[in-house]
Amino acid sequence: MKKKSIIIAAVVVLVIVCCGFYFAGNRGITVEEINSEQMKTVSWDVHDYSVVGASDEETLYAGVMYMNDFSDAKYFIYIKKDGLPRGWHFLRSGSLTKVDGIRAFDCGEYGNAYVAINSDGTVQTMEFEDGREPSRTENVGSIICERSQDPIHFYDAEGNILEYTTLKVLD
């Protein structure tokens, strides 16, 4: 009887240890940790760059780190998973330059992330179709970092629509 109890206890401990190893790699991070995690990926001086991000709090986070002189920039995208591997999980990152234009990242069921270095002020207006108020933003600042389930339209100072490049991240 005592031997059986020891075997059961050993199996329970083994299962707990195995679950711990499995979930350790699947634990997401909090939204507050995203920017600090991304800051570790660059060798830039902390006083020379800024970070902006946009999130819908439920599914998709898009961020941009950029040098204050707009000489270099990096985008990063995280998705929020439900179930046991809770929290925000890294999806994709890459470099942007001044001439990159507007990039839309199609993240499948998680929605779209839009990022651009708008240092020359080409983008003056954004129009949203996802029901947010206001549905139109004018005099857009230099960095564009948005997320949406629906398309976002970008316009220059004369009201011409600006095309963007869409990259498929998830189906």
Summarize pLDDT for 83-119 with one digit per residue, the tens.
666 788 999 998 887 667 899 999 988 889 999 988 8
Give yes or no for a contact between 110 and 90, defined as CB atoms under 8 angstroms apart: no
Q: What is the pLDDT of residue 29?
A: 86
Q: What is the pLDDT of residue 77?
A: 92
Which pLDDT band holds residue 138 (cuts at 50, 70, 90)? Answer: confident
Best CA proximity match to 91, nearest among 10, 9, 171: 171
How many Cα atoms within 13 Å fall on the side-chain side of residue 1?
Answer: 0
Q: What is the pLDDT of residue 104?
A: 92
CA 57 distance to own-chain centroid: 11
For the chain, give the mean pLDDT: 83
Whether the ω angle into residue 151 lies within 30 degrees of 0, i.e. cis, is no
**Between 170 and 137, the higher pLDDT residue:** 137
Best CA proximity match to 79, nearest among 104, 37, 110: 110
**Between 56 and 109, the higher pLDDT residue:** 109
Could you give the C-alpha distances from 22 to 87, 90, 130, in angstroms and in order? Answer: 15, 17, 37
From CA 85, how far away is CA 79, in angstroms rounded? 12
Q: Alpha helix (H) ranges present in the chain?
A: 2-24, 31-39
Give yes or no for a contact between 146 and 140, defined as CB atoms under 8 angstroms apart: no
pLDDT digits (tens, 9 = 90+) for 9-20: 667 777 665 555
